[in-house]
Amino acid sequence: MQKKWMLAMGLILFLLAGGWLMNDDKKSLAEHADRTGHYIGSAVRFEPAFQDEKYQEILLREFNHLTIENEMKMAAIHPEKDRFSFDRTDELIELAEENDMEIRGHTLVWGEEIPQWVYEQAVDEERTKQVLKLHIQMLVERYKGRVNEWDVVNEAWNDDGTFRENFWYRMMGPSYIPLAFSWASEADPEAVLYYNDYGIEKENVKAASMFNYLNKWKREGYPIHGIGVQAHLDAADPGISIEEMKTNFAKWGQAGFVTAVTELDIKLQNMGEPRNERLDTQAELYGDITAMCMKESSCQGVTVWGAGDAESWLISQESEKAEPLLFDDNWVEKPAYHAVKKSLFSARFK
């Protein structure tokens, strides 16, 4: 009798668990991420966000964190010396706020997307400092308390570990990097300030040089809070290593930095396998990277650089066969979507 009772109870529990798991699978990525204490983010551009209803529906349902992809870059938001163009950014931020999504500002200082007036005005080191400080502080002050994270400096190192000789470096030397963080912090002391770059997901000379400088400046008192790994990856690259990424995140976390995966996409056009195998490889990488972030105490979340393949920057710049994101060009969930969801779900019970 007791054995039958135990078997019956086991069957009931199994059926209840199955129903619970099925119901849980219907939850969005954002709902799962919320329960882990992390975010799952997406880069967003103005036109599709307001012109494509399906895109907006998926964006608002599946993600709890937005990075403004283009509209905050210097040429877009500060096109003339005495004029900021805030309209598009304002609308994107309002959309996020109305849907309880946190916002990442991108990017305050970059060697590209510099408007012509800067070259005309910033003719020596002192005037370059004035131009850059004004730009940073006007932007950060406007969105103080609304944009909680900023990519302050973007892509400042070469692959060989030397400083990238962009305009800011030529005019100010490497000091533009820590100064930018100081100016941003003066404008909003509560904001979390990141350095952001590609190619640093590996244990290489670029990642080592970047970390050594950032750590030195941090110890000197500059408010450099976080390191963002872009992770624009090629599924055909045999050198992708989740273990190396994990090692870097752990090392940076031990030094007092928060970390994040900030621009994740995984392109497929260079793989020769059948499409279903390519998609499976992509899904495994997406799932493993998400799981790595969930396990590393310094990692705040994962941001995918877009949502659907049709909206990806890679389609226009590289190949229509890139297929780098979580949804296909008809907004159908790909295996990568389910792999990310599985990793988020699993993290809830660790």
Q: Which residues are catalytic?
A: 155, 263
Asked if 201 and 231 touch (Cβ cutoff 8 Å), the reply is: yes
Q: How far is CA 273 from CA 235, 268, 269, 282, 319, in A?
A: 11, 10, 10, 12, 17
| Euclidean distance between CA atoms 339 and 345, whole angstroms | 10
Q: What are the distances in angstroms from CA 160 to CA 167, 188, 197?
A: 19, 33, 14
CA distance linking residue 262 with residue 74, whole number of Å: 19
Give CA–CA dist 112/259, Å, rounded: 24
Closest CA to 190 of 148, 152, 253, 160: 148
Do the beta carbons of residue 283 and residue 336 sit within 8 Å? Answer: yes
CB atoms within 10 A of CB 174: 14
Whole-angstrom Cα distance, residue 52 to residue 60? 12
Contacts of 295 (CB under 8 A, 6+ apart): 246, 347, 350
Residue closest to 72 by CA, chosen among 98, 121, 110: 110
What span, in angstroms and rounded, lies between the C-alpha atoms of 238 and 88? 40
